[in-house]
């Protein structure tokens, strides 16, 4: 085989690896990817195995279905093997170990950009807004809800944004709002939407620019608090709401666990949870000040 033919084959094989890895990371079946992209399952199987050729048009459709830009699939990188090895190993370790690895990989500049920002993540009903507002008062910082920033940009409520543009449109505005906050604000406590973790690029941007706290609660308390607010999103319309809620929590747990630390509000008063939140905030300061790990 000629050298240029071997290079072409390696290039196609790398595209297949990236497609397969991204599909598995997003927990998308080959069948679902076929439906989303309009590309047959048989062709996808050939492509992922490195034996399929691909047109630019099909490449665009597959990349779009995976939430990626076509150029990402075509990057000429020699470190794919190491990348996949690292990612595979990370899937087998505990959340605590994953957090320590991230700390090692983060640059000093990234840690510097996070010093003055804290973001609370977690499913609706955990207590992000209540605790975020109290934490901000306690440390004399500004408190912001990301959805309010999105509404300010669009000049309409979030519910109308979703109705008009769908969840994909909402996620785009969410990214825009997050970028705006990063560029314009510091000494900030932010409460993010529960689903921000489902958009990899936006979640990565958040993790790189904020110290993050996963605000946790039991499914029963989530349900009770959301109903007390008079709004059962995102589980409205499901006859088995509790089962659906548990499913959402389970599917996002590995993403939420990428936060720097967690605060469990289950069975605790607001005062008790705030004390734990302040301890989490102090751990960020300790890590930034002396270089020690932020532990869970």
Which two structure tokens, joined as six digits, stand for 56? 């630019």
Q: 41 with 183, same domain?
A: no
What rounded mean pLDDT belongs to the chain?
80
Which two structure tokens, joined as six digits, stand for 198? 């489902």
End position of a domain, from candidates 87, 110, 133 = 87
Residues 223-277 have pLDDT tens digits of: 787 777 665 555 555 557 778 888 888 888 889 999 989 999 988 989 999 999 9
Q: 70 with 139, same domain?
A: no
Per-residue pLDDT, 24? 80
Residue 134 maps to a domain = yes
Q: 177 with 259, same domain?
A: yes
CA atoms within 13 A on the CB side of 116: 13
Report helix, strand or coil for 118: strand
- Number of folded domains in the chain? 2
Window from 37-46, 61-70, 192-201 with minimum mean pLDDT: 61-70
CATH of the domain at 283: 3.40.50.300
SS3 assignment for 206-227: HHHHCEEEEEECCHHHHHHHHH
Segments forming the whole domain that contains residue 38: 3-87
CATH of the domain at 41: 1.10.260.40
Mean pLDDT of 61-65: 77
Sequential DSSP letters for 159-209: HHHHHHHHHHHHHHHHHHHHHHHHHH--SEEEE--GGGGGSHHHHHHHHHH
Residues 169-208 have pLDDT tens digits of: 899 999 999 999 998 888 899 999 999 998 888 998 999 8
Residue 115 maps to a domain = yes
For residues 156 and 11, the model is more confident at 156
């Amino acid at each position: 085989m000629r050298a240029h033919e071997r290079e072409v084959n390696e290039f196609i094989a790398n595209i297949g690896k990236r497609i397969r890895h991204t599909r598995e990371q997003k927990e998308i079946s080959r069948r679902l990817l076929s439906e989303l992209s309009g590309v047959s399952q048989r062709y996808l199987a050939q492509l992922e195995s490195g034996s399929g050729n691909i047109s630019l048009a099909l490449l665009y459709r597959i990349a779009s279905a995976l939430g990626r830009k076509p150029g990402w699939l075509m990057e000429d990188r020699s470190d794919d093997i190491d990348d996949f090895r690292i990612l595979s190993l990370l899937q087998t370790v505990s959340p605590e170990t994953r957090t320590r690895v991230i700390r090692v990989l983060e640059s000093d500049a990234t840690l510097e950009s996070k010093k003055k920002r804290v973001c609370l993540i977690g499913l609706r009903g955990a207590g992000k807004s209540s605790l975020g507002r109290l934490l901000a008062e306690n440390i004399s910082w500004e408190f912001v809800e990301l959805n309010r920033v999105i509404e300010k940009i669009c000049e309409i409520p979030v519910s109308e944004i979703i109705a008009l543009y769908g969840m994909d449109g909402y996620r785009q505005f969410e990214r825009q709002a997050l970028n705006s906050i990063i560029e314009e604000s510091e000494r900030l406590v932010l409460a993010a939407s529960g689903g921000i973790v489902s958009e990899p690029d936006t979640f990565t941007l958040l993790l790189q620019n904020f110290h993050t706290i996963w605000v946790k609660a039991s499914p029963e308390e989530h349900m009770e608090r959301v109903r007390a607010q008079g709004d059962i999103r995102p589980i409205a319309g499901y006859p088995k709401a509790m089962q659906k809620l548990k499913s959402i929590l389970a599917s996002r747990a590995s993403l939420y666990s990428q936060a720097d630390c967690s605060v469990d509000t289950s069975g605790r008063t607001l005062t008790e949870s705030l004390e734990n939140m302040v301890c989490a905030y102090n751990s960020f300061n300790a890590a930034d000040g002396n270089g020690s790990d932020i532990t869970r």
